Amino acid sequence: MADIDENLAQREAIEVDRSKGDFKYEENYAFDAGIGLTPSTIDYIAKVKGEEEWIREFRQKSLKIFQEMPMPTHWATADLENIKFEDIRYYLSKGQKPVRTWEEVPDDVKQTFERLGIPESERKFLAGVEAQFDSEAVYSRMKEELEKQGVIFCGPTEGLRDHPEIFRKWFGKVIPIGDNKFAALNSAVFSGGSFIYIPKGVKVAQPLQAYFRINAENFGQFERTLIIADEGSEVTYMEGCTAPKFETATLHSAVVELVALKGAKIQYITVQNWSANVFNLVTKRGVAEEDAEVRWIDCNIGSRLTMKYPGVVLRGKRARGEVLSIALANDGQHQDTGAKMIHAADDTTSNIIAKSISVGEGRSTYRGLVHIPKTLSNCRNNTECDALLINEHSRTDTYPAISVRGRKNSVQHEASVSKVSAEQIFYMMQRGLSEGEAMSLAVNGFVNDLVKEFPMEYSVELKRLIELQMEGSVG
């Protein structure tokens, strides 16, 4: 029986308790680029990282583009104007090179993992863990088999330095610098993140995981991820985020590029739980070549403002793209999420299922873009977006943009808005559930069919995060 709860009891023992992400640890930063963003900040970052000249130039060019581009407030929320770029710290590092063994990890970092509630068994269990602690990966390990298989799993600095023949070709190509203002910002100041290469035909059995943390006030995190799955290979990457709570707003602006070559499959999973002051402005896009598949599973919980529209460019025949997303907007939060599917070859298919939950004063926006030019034939898209409202103050908007030309292609679009009624809450409370438990059960029910698609540990964790959110939302 495919019942998540049945396995819950066994899972609970090794579960990561992300509710503990709510603390701040004293840091003694060995490297710190200071506050604000100028060409000399960029030079500083490039120098500290010991980067080659072409990367420094790439960064400087990106900075210029970032500074020239206007804020996208003609379509996006004016809240973006509240980001104080001049107050942000763009680079922090412990100054270590990424290490392989647990023993080499500094004690204070270990303590932080301890407090995060990542149990020993879990740490050992995680295959190829790349845990990002602030801007630099301080803890990275790879299972021996992965190395033997030729899998590369490192950070951007190492990736570009040690394997330029693999990564340089695609770096900044799926998402060009000028794609949007925040992609440009990331291109200027990126540090941390994962660079992954899966050789031809290699099917990585265990998901690659990374834990992300933001741990300094006014510190923007700009990780950069590039995953290249060579022909016929398969990989699942999991990204989990927790951020401690701070008084002032924090900016998180990542760029994630995925390249699935002929017949390859990439599944990228994000479950994020940002604290309520984080601006989370992320650009994610994948390219799928012939017979390849790119699948984004994206769960956005928390943050002050999230803007994220994972996309897939279906470049080869029979390529498949999928976005499954869940967004939960609580009081004072705005989840502006969606998906982009760009069909660029015949016989390509895309599927978008987006579920949003708005609680209290929370606001969710769905923006979808599906593009199928008329020169193509036999392309299909299915888009489903469902919104759940919990109490009358919350709000949801849908902006689907579907440009499908040509009679040989088909699109299917369904949208629904539902409410958790007072009667439903009463019914559940009559069975002994508190109001918060009743609401989280209703929310979990709403996302249930989508969550079934997730790997077990993520569905369990998501369930927990929803519970925490809903319990926090009742007085």
Which residues contribute to the site for another protein (CB under 8 A)? Answer: 1-3, 5-6, 8-9, 418, 421-424, 426-435, 437-438, 441-442, 444-449
Q: What is the closest distance, in whole angstroms, from the C-beta atom of residue 386 to another protein in the complex? A: 10
As a whole number of angstroms, the distance between CA 66 and CA 281 comes to 14
Bridge partners of 349, per DSSP, are 320, 380
Q: What is the closest distance, in whole angstroms, from the C-beta atom of residue 462 to another protein in the complex? A: 14
Q: What is the closest distance, in whole angstroms, from the C-beta atom of residue 428 to another protein in the complex? A: 7
Q: What is the closest distance, in whole angstroms, from the C-beta atom of residue 424 to another protein in the complex? A: 5
Q: What is the closest distance, in whole angstroms, from the C-beta atom of residue 2 to another protein in the complex? A: 8
As a whole number of angstroms, the distance between CA 292 and CA 348 comes to 10
C-beta of 1 vs 78, nearer to another protein: 1
Q: Are strands 152-154 and 195-198 parallel, antiparallel or unpaired?
A: antiparallel
**C-alpha distances in Å from residue 187, one per residue of 86, 87, 163, 211, 438:** 17, 19, 19, 21, 44
C-beta of 176 vs 472, nearer to another protein: 472
C-beta of 3 vs 53, nearer to another protein: 3
| Helix, strand, or coil (residue 176) | coil
C-beta of 216 vs 390, nearer to another protein: 390
| Helix, strand, or coil (residue 275) | coil
Reading the block at residue 241, the tokens are 């985020």
Rounded to 5 degrees, φ, ψ at 415 are -140, 145
Q: What is the closest distance, in whole angstroms, from the C-beta atom of residue 328 to another protein in the complex? A: 15
C-beta of 45 vs 441, nearer to another protein: 441
Q: What is the closest distance, in whole angstroms, from the C-beta atom of residue 52 to another protein in the complex? A: 52
Q: What is the closest distance, in whole angstroms, from the C-beta atom of residue 137 to another protein in the complex? A: 34
Burial of 352 (0-12, 13-18, 19+ CB in 10 A): buried
As a whole number of angstroms, the distance between CA 320 and CA 287 comes to 10
Task: Name the H helices within 32-180.
Answer: 39-48, 53-68, 107-116, 120-125, 144-148, 156-162, 164-167
C-beta of 289 vs 467, nearer to another protein: 467
As a whole number of angstroms, the distance between CA 208 and CA 250 comes to 27
Q: Find all residues with CB under 8 Å of 330, minimum gap 6, and list them.
A: 276, 302, 359, 360, 362, 469, 472, 473
As a whole number of angstroms, the distance between CA 442 and CA 140 comes to 38
Q: What is the closest distance, in whole angstroms, from the C-beta atom of residue 9 to another protein in the complex? A: 5
Bridge partners of 311, per DSSP, are 285, 340
* Short-list 127, 94, 295, CA closest to 206: 127
C-beta of 81 vs 423, nearer to another protein: 423
Angle 152-154-159 (CA atoms, 0-180°, nearest 5)? 85
CA 34 to chain centre: 26
Q: What is the closest distance, in whole angstroms, from the C-beta atom of residue 448 to another protein in the complex? A: 4
C-beta of 401 vs 429, nearer to another protein: 429
* Short-list 199, 173, 195, 177, CA closest to 186: 177
C-beta of 353 vs 442, nearer to another protein: 442
Burial of 169 (0-12, 13-18, 19+ CB in 10 A): exposed
C-beta of 104 vs 449, nearer to another protein: 449
